[in-house]
A and B are shown apart, each in its own frame.
Chain A
Amino acid sequence: ELQLVESGGGLVQPGGSLRLSCAASGFTFSSYEMNWVRQAPGKGLEWISYISRSGSNIYYADSVKGRFTISRDNARNSLFLQMNSLRAEDTAVYYCARKTFDLVGYMDVWGKGTTVTVSS
């Protein structure tokens, strides 16, 4: 069964840091590009970061550029999101999502999400 399981969410103070993880199973993780998508309470979906299969190509949304770092460990079938300088507006459910194998691909497999709350 294709599965993505996020972890690492929690309550953190403004200015703090948090590292999210996403464990993949049921497919060859190293063959797929991956993304992080978030959803603030009561709001829509926001793509925030992409990483290529090898990790050599990375993109960020402007809202997190310079504060968040995406990475992956193909040997451990894991995706990560290091979040620094957190702000109240980063409060959201964070999803990891697999990009399809196509050159031009959409997100086809999603985790259930992990909740990050930034508050003092």
Chain B
Amino acid sequence: DIQMTQSPSTLSTSVGDRVTITCRASQTISVWLAWYQQKPGKAPKLLIYKASTLESGVPSRFSGRGSGTEFTLTISSLQPDDFATYYCLQYNSYLYTFGQGTKLEIK
């Protein structure tokens, strides 16, 4: 099975900061990676798919990069609504795997 290692697990940040979250796959997954945002008590919301394609309606301050085994999600200028938990998902295999999550906290 493919393991996804996401870091950091928690990030204390401020509005306006540039934030980068990393996911590493245990084997190559090409570009088959998605990013989700989740707020407490809510279902995950799709942000990015195919490593770098922005889902319709998602603000352009979100961007994704990477291929193979290393991927990043960047928020260029953090907004109050962005404080949430972020997960990566590899979908190279039907045995999907999520990263452990990154919680963005207000500094």
Where the two chains meet, the residues of A that have a C-beta atom closer than 8 Å to any C-beta of B are 35, 44-47, 50, 57, 59, 61-62, 95, 100, 104-108, 110-113
Chain A residues, Cβ within 8 Å of B23: none
Residue of B nearest to A111 (CB): B43
Interface of B, secondary structure class, is loop
> Nearest chain A CB to B79's CB is how many angstroms away?
23
> Nearest chain B CB to A12's CB is how many angstroms away?
22
- B92 and A107 within 8 A (CB): no
- B91 and A50 within 8 A (CB): no
- B94 and A50 within 8 A (CB): yes
> Nearest chain A CB to B23's CB is how many angstroms away?
12
> Nearest chain B CB to A44's CB is how many angstroms away?
4
Residue of A nearest to B95 (CB): A59
Q: Which 10 A-B pairs have the closest CB atoms?
A: A47-B96, A110-B43, A106-B34, A44-B101, A45-B98, A106-B91, A59-B94, A106-B49, A44-B100, A50-B94
